[in-house]
Amino acid sequence: MTLFKGAGVALVTPFSEGKVDYDRLEGLLNWQVSSGIDAVVSCGTTGEASTLNDEEHIRTVKFTVKTVKKKVPVIAGAGSNDTAHAVFMAQALENIGADGLLMVTPYYNKCTQKGLVKHYEKIADSVNIPMILYSVPGRTGVNISPSSVKELSGHPNICGIKEASGNMSQVVEIARYVSEDFALYSGNDDMIVPLLSVGGVGAISTVANVIPSDTSRMIHKYLKGDVKTAKNMQLAMKPLIDAMFIEVNPIPVKAALSMMDKIKPEYRMPLCEAENLSLYEIMTQMKDYGLIQ
């Protein structure tokens, strides 16, 4: 049931004059696949899914599936704080060809761990494709506890977790509880190699939007036993990663892609363009990494 090993890009959604820019999206997808990315996550947090209406969301995933042509798995974000809506989206995205689903924890209503387990089981029971849990308490206010992950890992349609708590002790505890068939993915770009060291198989990455080849290569170096090279790559990426989170994601990474002339610097409100000081830091780190002149 493992959807992929390596680097999955949490892809941005490019906009032009308030609408999804499918021409730019096609360019991004072709570049990501040709650069060796291992999976594409469409309409996740980095893809500004919370400001896409259902029609836009489904159409964007459908376009991604059509463009990628099964070269790599397409994993569609379908999370919601409304279980019924999450079920609706999960089924709709399965029907248009998504290979898997990424399901963020419910936000704002902040359910208990019991409610969280019931929420995920309800969604997983409604589909026939693999589902990845997504724990990012810094954005949702809800953490998936290791014991809840252990319980959910027994469901046949729940194949892994994107762990973005930033808490390595929690990641280690999860690794203790789950089988080797349950995929651990890093959701923190500055902790990819540490997570791999306790049995992780990859990452769902923001920085892969701008360095897909290096992100994938770093992970595969580690998985093939070249720990030293992977470690050195992780350390070399750290300043660039920090710049990609200098403001709330995906503001910096969309600014970076704009500097690379891959998308327009356009966001859905309430997100807006980065501050000048942030743009200077993003540009500085991209120059230092060799991405722009």
- Residue stretches of the annotated binding site: 46, 204
**Of 162, 185, 221, 267, catalytic:** 162
* Beta strand ranges found along the chain (DSSP E): 6-10, 15-16, 19-20, 39-42, 74-77, 100-104, 131-135, 158-163, 183-186, 202-205
Beta strands in 86-182 (DSSP E): 100-104, 131-135, 158-163
Marked catalytic residue, from 134, 185, 222, 267:
134
Point out the annotated binding site for pyruvate.
46, 204
110 labelled catalytic: no
DSSP conformation class of 191: G
Angle (CA) 93 70 49, round 5°: 35
Looking at residue 132, what DSSP letter applies? E
**How far apart are the C-alpha atoms of 70 and 98, rounded to whole Å?**
10
The answer for residues whose C-beta is within 8 angstroms of residue 213's C-beta and 6 or more apart is 35, 36
36-48: burial string, b at 16+ Cβ within 10 Å, e else: bbbbbbbbbbbbb
Q: How many helices (H) and strands (E) does the chain have?
A: 12, 10
Q: C-alpha angle 113/116/121, rounded to 5°? A: 130
134 is catalytic: yes
- Determine what percent of the chain falls in helix, strand and coil, rounding each to the nearest 5: 50, 15, 40
Which residues are identified as catalytic? 134, 162
